[in-house]
Amino acid sequence: MDAKQNLFDELEDKIVNGELLNTDLLMSKELQDKFNTPELLHFLADNWNWDNDIAIIRLISESPICSKATALMIFWLAQPCDYTQYKLRSKQSNDDDVFEIIQTILNRFKTDDYLETSITYNPQNDMPKDGSFEVDDKMKIAVDGVDTWVHDEYVKKISSYATSELEREIKNCKDIDYLNMIADGLLYFNDAYNVGKWIIDNPLCDKGTALLLYWRLLLYFQKRGFSQQESMNKFDIVKEVYHKLITDFFKIGIKYSPLIDPQNSNLLKKPLAKWTIPEFMKRSI
């Protein structure tokens, strides 16, 4: 295991330090020279941080010495259920690289193109229970509190402020209703990521406002092509709001009910599947 770990650490260091320059040619050579057995490729796939460089995962899935078990593991780690809303052989997802990997693995399985080895993998370990991703039920529970007000035109005006002015406006806000109004109008802002961060960093931010912000962030990123799952995986601000909500970081203030908010209607709908995951991709190897 130490020899494997040394190889893995060496490759990861080169990726992080830019020595491989993120080119397919160099990474392919590195894989061929160092990770030159199905077992080593499986070890790499099982330990690789996908946020580091997804091209490594793609190259493993395309490798002629990739085992069936390794390919199946990559398939389920790619969370394919979330991509069934897109047509196969299409590029409709912002995460095109991941979707291409899913399609590559499907095609190679259909033609029995992966190696039969002694490596094993059980898809049940990584399969979602209901076959799809949905917003955590904890995020659907209404928060009790007081009523507030919204002034749409005023939020639009605020959204035109220069970044530094906007940051001061939100961070120095002394009115809980005003802060909630900005969260409600998040879609008017070009930089929802930082606006969201400034809102939850304000000591006045309450549980209702934070929950409203969470749903507006999902909607903001959805309109830019990201699914709910991608938003949770990719954007730290979504993770931070979620974590603070489930750990009861915020105090009760303004009330908010996600299920009756008309802006959440599309988020609450289960996306129609354009394709289904074949049964043979659900069996252990």
- Shared domain check, 80 and 28: yes
Structure tokens at 158: 């605020």
Domain extent, residue 120, equals 2-130+274-282
Phi-psi map region of 273: left, alpha, beta (phi>0 left; psi -120 to 50 alpha):
beta
Phi-psi map region of 89: left, alpha, beta (phi>0 left; psi -120 to 50 alpha):
left
Long-range contacts of 30-36 (CB under 8 A, 24+ apart): 31/56, 31/59, 31/60, 31/63, 34/7, 34/10, 35/7, 35/11, 36/65
Q: What is the mean pLDDT of the chain?
A: 86
- Shared domain check, 246 and 146: yes
What pLDDT is stored for residue 168 in this prediction?
A: 94
Which parts of the chain have pLDDT scores under 70?
1, 16-26, 90-95, 129-134, 271
CA distance 216 to 59: 36
Spacing of C-alpha 68 from chain mean position: 26
- Report the number of distinct structural domains present in the chain: 2
Nearest to 112, CA basis, from 253, 245, 285: 285
What pLDDT is stored for residue 162 in this prediction?
A: 93
- Shared domain check, 163 and 115: no
- Shared domain check, 53 and 35: yes
User: In one letter, which amino acid is 264?
Assistant: N
Q: What share of residues in the chain are helix, strand, coil (percent, to 5)?
A: 60, 0, 40
**Number of residues that make up the chain:** 285
Q: What is each CA distance from 104 to 64, 142, 164, 175, 198, in whole angstroms?
A: 13, 42, 45, 53, 41
What pLDDT is stored for residue 208 in this prediction?
A: 97
What pLDDT is stored for residue 52 in this prediction?
A: 74
What pLDDT is stored for residue 131 in this prediction?
A: 45
- Shared domain check, 123 and 158: no
- Shared domain check, 49 and 150: no
- Shared domain check, 163 and 258: yes
Q: What is each CA distance from 67 to 37, 40, 73, 209, in whole angstroms?
A: 9, 10, 10, 49
User: In one letter, which amino acid is 258?
Assistant: P
CA distance 177 to 148: 6
- Shared domain check, 159 and 236: yes
What pLDDT is stored for residue 271 in this prediction?
A: 65
- Shared domain check, 101 and 156: no
- Shared domain check, 23 and 80: yes
What pLDDT is stored for residue 25 in this prediction?
A: 67
